[in-house]
Structure 1
Amino acid sequence: MKIFISGGTGFVGGHLIRELISRGHEPRLLVHRRAPAIEGVEQVEGDVTRPESFLDAAQGCQAVINLVGIIREFPSRGITFQRLHVQATANMLAAAKAAGIGRYLQMSALGTRKDARAEYHRSKFRAEELVRASGLEWTILRPSLIYGPGDSFINMLAGQLRHAPVMPVMGNGRYRLQPIHADDVARCFALSLELGETIAHCYDLCGANRLSYLELLDAIADAMGKPAPLKPHAPLALMKLIIPIMQHIPQFPITSDQLRMLLEESICDGGWQKTFGFEPRDFKEGIREYLKKGHAKT
């Protein structure tokens, strides 16, 4: 199957491309500029926010996958949730319809809902609504925190631990996460193309292990062969005053939106396994593979 993919050059995209090729599919990537050739992968130049730049790019494909997403906004650079989540989705849906493609897969996020506290989740929900109303044979996948070689979050924490055995924690640190490996997310996307029962369904994807943020930090340290770090707690009331001021600095590591998502947790019941038929990878084993000296993202 030839598949038109936006966002395929990112972290999850790399895992998805490998999974699709291993199953005999032919990915066609929408890219800003051509990268070195990858065997079995076609590249077409265009901008997902400018539909005229890729109007004909999906012709000849049998499915569309939209992976485009951002975790924080930079409005001065045109990087906003409305533009990259909602408008980009509308553009990809239009491209699919123009090319006569009926099958469409969308990357969303666990916690997405109409009344979410975070604008990130609300914008993802607006995008989902466009997909559901498209008339296409759609599937929506909502992963929890995604980890794996080259990820941002786990590698960021590991980088901090390399510099000092101290990891500040906002609030009590008992809020829970259920990370899922990028390979497992990629496998679910590939299987969605093969399983007709996934049409017109939305799946919450989460990993095998529920960990509090405190436990997550200890697991990362253990994978790196280090002792558990010191975890001084920063009062939430203070952080809620500081973050709105500091978040406008690009180097500042967290925004108010991200804090809201962290505190409300990111867990699910694992019901997706009944449809896709496999168990997710163990978190500690998964991060140990790439958090070895010299192998983590810097």
Structure 2
Amino acid sequence: MKIFLAGGTGFVGGNLCEILAASGHEVRLLVHRRRDSKIAGVEQVEGDAADLESFAGGVSGCDAVINLIGIIREFPGKGMTFEKLHVEATRNLVAAAGMAGSRRYLQMSALGTRPQAVSFYHRTKWQAEELVRGSGLEWTIFRPSLIFGPGDAFVNMLADQIRKLPFVPVIGDGQYRMQPIAVQDVARCFAMALGMPQTIGKSFELCGADRLTYLEMIDTIAKVLGRSSPVKMKNPLLLMKLATALLQQFPLYPVTMDQIQMLTEESICDGSWRETFGFEPVRFSEGIASYLKVR
């Protein structure tokens, strides 16, 4: 298949490009600016997903469109907003697929996405999903939990704190749970879905095999690093919300209200995606041991 891939220069996208190319697919990658690629069989098309005219012609001749575009935090001054990159980009990609006659469409969403979500992040992800569901295309939507793997932001951030600090800061009581899933497993599901008609018109919640509290995640990372369990400095949730409401406007402040909301409302699922895709996900401790360096 010839596949048009948006958001393919990011964390998940890099892994997906490699899997698609290795499987014999032709990949046409949407980029803001062309750069050298180490992956054979990847063609680059310059454009901006927020500007339909800039890339629509690049979808011509493609059998499928995959949208991985997403941000976890807004930076309005740089033009990075949830509305623009979740909703408008999806609207444009759906339109471009329709114009080009590309029937197959895969969309990256997020676990916890729902119409009445508290976080604006999840609400805009839901708006994007609705555009996909109403597109008339042969769509599949994936909603992953926290994604880990080489170069990830979250696990590497915690590992860095464990290495450098005498304690690890925790928002609230740390008892909220996550089911982290390996980046290669997420990419594998996307690639497999292209050849699985039974995934058309369905949404899949992707989560790993390990359901861990935030505190347990910290201890697991510490163990992999060969460190003892660190001191957890718990910050009262109400106090964190008050401070964040005032300070999140500053880019250097590390968290936003949306991020606190999504963290504390948990990110877990029943794992039923495995019945369709037929493989077991990488275990969290084994997965992070493959890229976290013991120092």
TM-score for the superposition, normalised by structure 2:
0.98
Q: How many pairs does the alignment contain?
A: 294
Residue equivalent to 2:54: 53
CA shift for structure 1 position 52: 1.0
Q: 1 CA distance for matches of 2:111 and 2:175?
A: 19
CA shift for structure 1 position 98: 1.1
Q: Determine if the alignment matches structure 1 residue 16 to structure 2 residue 16.
A: yes
Q: 2 CA distance for matches of 1:219 and 1:247?
A: 29
Q: 2 CA distance for matches of 1:80 and 1:17?
A: 25
Residue equivalent to 2:67: 66
Residue equivalent to 1:124: 125
Residue equivalent to 2:135: 134
CA shift for structure 1 position 158: 1.0
Q: 2 CA distance for matches of 1:258 and 1:127?
A: 19
Q: Determine if the alignment matches structure 1 residue 261 to structure 2 residue 258.
A: no
Residue equivalent to 2:98: 97
Gaps of 5+ in 1: none
Q: 1 CA distance for matches of 2:7 and 2:93?
A: 11
Kept after mapping to 1: 8 A contact 2:21/2:40: no
Q: 2 CA distance for matches of 1:176 and 1:255?
A: 19
Residue equivalent to 2:32: 32
Matched residue SS, 2:204 = strand
Q: Which amino acid aligns with 1:73?
A: E
Residue equivalent to 2:179: 178
Q: 2 CA distance for matches of 1:141 and 1:152?
A: 20
Q: Which amino acid aligns with 1:259?
A: I
Residue equivalent to 1:277: 278
Residue equivalent to 1:291: 292
Matched residue SS, 1:221 = helix
| RMSD of aligned alpha carbons | 0.9
Q: Which amino acid aligns with 1:226?
A: R
Matched residue SS, 1:292 = coil
Runs (4+) of structure 1 moved beyond 2 Å? none
Q: Determine if the alignment matches structure 1 residue 215 to structure 2 residue 207.
A: no
CA deviation vs aligned residue, 1:202-248 (integer Å, no higher than 9, x gap): 00000010000000001111111111110011111111110111211
CA shift for structure 1 position 7: 0.2
Matched residue SS, 2:80 = coil
CA deviation vs aligned residue, 1:223-277 (integer Å, no higher than 9, x gap): 1111111001111111111011121121221100000000000000000000000
Q: 1 CA distance for matches of 2:166 and 2:139?
A: 46
Matched residue SS, 1:71 = coil
TM-score for the superposition, normalised by structure 1:
0.97
Matched residue SS, 1:232 = strand
Kept after mapping to 1: 8 A contact 2:65/2:104: yes
CA shift for structure 1 position 285: 0.4
Q: 2 CA distance for matches of 1:215 and 1:22?
A: 36
Kept after mapping to 1: 8 A contact 2:90/2:128: yes
Q: Which amino acid aligns with 2:116?
A: D
Gaps of 5+ in 2: none
CA shift for structure 1 position 165: 3.2
Q: Which amino acid aligns with 2:35?
A: A
Residue equivalent to 2:115: 114
Q: Which amino acid aligns with 1:137?
A: E
Q: Determine if the alignment matches structure 1 residue 159 to structure 2 residue 160.
A: yes
Q: 2 CA distance for matches of 1:289 and 1:5?
A: 27
CA deviation vs aligned residue, 1:75-105 (integer Å, no higher than 9, x gap): 1221110000000000000110111110000
